[in-house]
Structure 1
Amino acid sequence: MLDLNEIRNNIDKIDSQLVELFEERMKLTTEVAEYKIETGKKVLDPAREKAKLESVKKLVKNPDNVHAIDDLFAQIMANSRKNQYMLLEKMGQTLREPYEAIDEINKKDCKVVYQGVPGAYSYAAMINFFGKDVDNFNVPTWRECMEAVKQGKADYAVLPIENSNAGIVADVYDLLQEYNNYIIAETYVKIEHLLLGLPGTDLENVTAVYSHPQGLMQCDRFLDTHKDWQRISQANTALAAKMIFQEHNKTHVAIASKEAAELYGLDILKSGITDQEGNTTRFVIVTNTRKFVKNAQKMSIVFETANEAGTLYNLLSHIIYNGLNMNKIESRPIEGNVEGKRWNFRFFVDFTGNIDDPRVMNALRGIEEEAESIKLLGNY
């Protein structure tokens, strides 16, 4: 039996040869990329790669190594493609669409739309980002927010995209895919539910509590101490507060925000009623033009891929290969059960980077070449 050190020395020699051969191979793929630039041929050639994998597997002597060789050469070819995409970008063969880079968002001379009514958390997010004096209006649905921006009735829309407790707002993700509107900024609002009532309300006499279903759920522990209260769902928390104001019934209370209390002249009957501390909602600021703040450091994209083994990994590897940090990935089913795409998914991905960074350009180029579709949602 060989000594362990001797075995390791032999492995080191082989590894040295592998590195030398790999670099020689990558040099050849650079020449391939130069040829493709001249001829206009696509980098990814699935038929060629499939044939190549089949041919190298036939060279394997030990059947136990077939799968490993298949995986190894798949990764080698993937790295070759990434090298070619980098060269294409350097040579000016970019697929990136034009955009406008701005120094900062003009928060004064603009019009903003939000969903809900004054005092809703979307209203609070708008005030948090644009200030109290911003010209604004509200609509009943998130879709109407997107339509208002699309049609130029508003410069910006404020939309909730995820909550630290409840997760993503799926309908907003779907709207971002559907509309050609772009995320230009984000803001966070701490969700601090308060028990609100008319001045002089006595908790001993309360019979019903109004709120959004999420508001009721997120205050479940507190409400369990008042099991005789009827829980009545409303479209949003601010509307619940508004109903208390309009009904003028001191036996009814609402779970809503501090802003709602101020707007409708309600007393804060009890604070700290949320089950979990740190409940926060992330909101995105959306506009209808491809413009991004120059120092933006977050990219949001959505792409679709074939429902085949390894395809998602291969697409995400473009982000990893370029040294970018992926912050988030969410999957959403492709709606409508389109023939041939049943149970296929689209993937929403956030990662760090600026659209002018060559690493970001390379990653986007690779995903665009290999995904079934890709859309840039924003750089912010």
Structure 2
Amino acid sequence: MDLSLIREDIDKVDKEIIELFQKRMDLCEEVAKYKLSVGKAILDKGREDSKIEKVQTFVDDESMKVALSDLFRQIMSSSRKLQYKFMEQNSATVRAECEIVDKIETQGAKVCYQGIEGAYSYLAMKRYFGEDVDGYNVPTFDAAMKEVAEGRADFAVLPIENSTAGIVNDTYDLLMKYDNYIVADLVYEIDHALLGLPGAKVSDISKVYSHPQGLMQCSHYLDEHLDWDRIATTNTSLGAKKVLADGDIHQAAIASREAAKVFGLEVIASEIRNEKNNATRFVIISKKRSFAKDAKTMSICFEIAHEAGSLYGILSHIKYNGLNMTKIQSRPIEGKMWQWRFYVDFEGNVNDAAVLNAMRGIEAESTYLKFLGNY
């Protein structure tokens, strides 16, 4: 038989499949209306599992059983997504007490950051809030989140990821610990320098201090000086402060040029970062669910059943609604060995119909969902 004739027959079968699929989806609309009228959940996992078992009995070949299972799970997934569109209520997780504003009000705000003057968090705070910001420092990321949660600060500035060293795990974990929200973000270029006492030279150094991220981001330079002790501090500027306090010409710190000015140190080596295009993304944290009307990034966190295909099922809601996922990150769930929660960023605004529909599906099919912000 000629291949073109076979393909013509396939096209005819495909047309029949499409017509039957459309008929099935029309029936799903009726199912959605019924479920809404009686308050029944869209997802009925027991019904779906029994359906899969039933369709598999129609064939004997094992590979066909697997193929039918995949096909009908995809069909039922599409059916659910259509049904979510008929839900009249918005996603409670997203819209509860959510205020949309023209812009985030920062005038007269009290802002906290982790570290000390000259730290990159300090510099990011100055860039976002302005030179006259009413800012103050705290020793840890947790303390910064707590200041906001308990109302002593209006905002906190926290690093969340670096372009070369990756994510800041503590910040992700703290977004789960506290009921605070991301209301803005900014990217700050990182330009690490080696700072020492006035008159110090690279040949004098035997010990270097910095935040673990700073040490990691300058590892290539440090590997050229394997005899140096690398000592981690909770902040890059704290390393600079210690060098000044100890007054030891053999000590140096990896920190910003601003830190050199603050502590009266000298730059004894510049541009020591591994990558020239090195930047850190900082998030602005608030206790209020106030989001700018032109916000374009959604951040969420969710947990899912520990079973095959569950992550794909959740992410398919983003794809189905035409949304662009820009980031996914996993973190271990405390107390649950080898189980993970997922942090996802995707493009959209809380007022977008596509976003709300995706969130309804994710909320219904995850075991836990937390809305982290829209900015």
- Does residue 1:323 correspond to 2:318, yes or no? no
Equivalent position of 1:336 in the other structure: 335
Following superposition, the deviation at residue 227 of structure 1 comes to 4.2
Separation of aligned partners in 2, 1:37 and 1:213:
52
Residues 305 and 346, structure 1, Cα contact 8 Å, conserved in 2: yes
Alignment of 1:362-373 (within 5 A): 362-373=357-368
**Cα gap change, 1:203 to 1:41, in 2 (>3 Å):** closer
**Stretch moving more, 55-64 or 111-120:** 55-64
Equivalent position of 2:145 in the other structure: 146
Equivalent position of 2:6 in the other structure: 7
Equivalent position of 2:121 in the other structure: 122
**Identity over aligned pairs, percent:** 53
Separation of aligned partners in 2, 1:254 and 1:366:
49
Separation of aligned partners in 2, 1:379 and 1:245:
41
Equivalent position of 2:189 in the other structure: 190
**Cα gap change, 1:18 to 1:274, in 2 (>3 Å):** same
**Cα gap change, 1:246 to 1:94, in 2 (>3 Å):** closer
Equivalent position of 2:356 in the other structure: 361
Give the number of equivalent residue pairs: 373
Residues 306 and 344, structure 1, Cα contact 8 Å, conserved in 2: no
**Cα gap change, 1:215 to 1:17, in 2 (>3 Å):** same
Separation of aligned partners in 1, 2:220 and 2:311:
41
Runs of 4 or more consecutive aligned structure 1 residues displaced over 6 Å after TM superposition:
none
- Does residue 1:201 correspond to 2:200, yes or no? yes
SS of structure 2 residue aligned to 1:336: coil
Alignment of 1:37-186 (within 5 A): 37-88=36-87, 91-92=88-89, 94-95=91-92, 96-186=95-185
SS of structure 2 residue aligned to 1:231: strand
Following superposition, the deviation at residue 323 of structure 1 comes to 0.3
Following superposition, the deviation at residue 247 of structure 1 comes to 2.5
**Cα gap change, 1:255 to 1:51, in 2 (>3 Å):** same
SS of structure 1 residue aligned to 2:335: helix
Separation of aligned partners in 2, 1:203 and 1:73:
66
SS of structure 2 residue aligned to 1:319: helix
**Cα gap change, 1:62 to 1:116, in 2 (>3 Å):** same
Alignment of 1:224-243 (within 5 A): 224-243=223-242
Residues 331 and 345, structure 1, Cα contact 8 Å, conserved in 2: yes
**Stretch moving more, 245-254 or 128-137:** 245-254
Separation of aligned partners in 1, 2:242 and 2:119:
13
Following superposition, the deviation at residue 39 of structure 1 comes to 0.8
Following superposition, the deviation at residue 61 of structure 1 comes to 4.9
Separation of aligned partners in 2, 1:188 and 1:12:
51
Equivalent position of 1:32 in the other structure: 31
**Cα gap change, 1:269 to 1:80, in 2 (>3 Å):** same
Residues 165 and 217, structure 2, Cα contact 8 Å, conserved in 1: no
Equivalent position of 1:377 in the other structure: 372
Separation of aligned partners in 1, 2:60 and 2:188:
61
**Cα gap change, 1:336 to 1:249, in 2 (>3 Å):** same
**Cα gap change, 1:295 to 1:75, in 2 (>3 Å):** same
SS of structure 1 residue aligned to 2:86: helix
Following superposition, the deviation at residue 22 of structure 1 comes to 0.5
1:151-210 deviation per Cα after TM superposition (whole angstroms, max 9, x unaligned): 110000111111112211112111101211000011112221111123232444334332
Following superposition, the deviation at residue 363 of structure 1 comes to 0.2
- TM-score, normalised by the number of residues in structure 2: 0.95
**Stretch moving more, 249-258 or 79-88:** 249-258
Residues 162 and 283, structure 1, Cα contact 8 Å, conserved in 2: yes
Q: Which amino acid aligns with 2:275?
A: Q
Equivalent position of 1:210 in the other structure: 209
SS of structure 1 residue aligned to 2:370: strand
**Stretch moving more, 361-370 or 237-246:** 237-246
Following superposition, the deviation at residue 93 of structure 1 comes to 5.7
Q: Which amino acid aligns with 2:100?
A: A
Following superposition, the deviation at residue 224 of structure 1 comes to 3.9
Give the RMSD, CA atoms, in angstroms.
1.6
Following superposition, the deviation at residue 107 of structure 1 comes to 2.5
Residues 244 and 263, structure 2, Cα contact 8 Å, conserved in 1: yes
Separation of aligned partners in 2, 1:319 and 1:139:
37
Equivalent position of 1:266 in the other structure: 265
Q: Which amino acid aligns with 1:354?
A: N
Q: Which amino acid aligns with 2:280?
A: T
**Stretch moving more, 147-156 or 216-225:** 216-225
The correspondence for 1:349, drawn from 344, 353, 363, is 344
1:280-302 deviation per Cα after TM superposition (whole angstroms, max 9, x unaligned): 11111110011111101100000
Separation of aligned partners in 2, 1:84 and 1:225:
60
- TM-score, normalised by the number of residues in structure 1: 0.94
SS of structure 2 residue aligned to 1:87: coil
Residues 43 and 84, structure 1, Cα contact 8 Å, conserved in 2: yes
**Cα gap change, 1:71 to 1:192, in 2 (>3 Å):** same
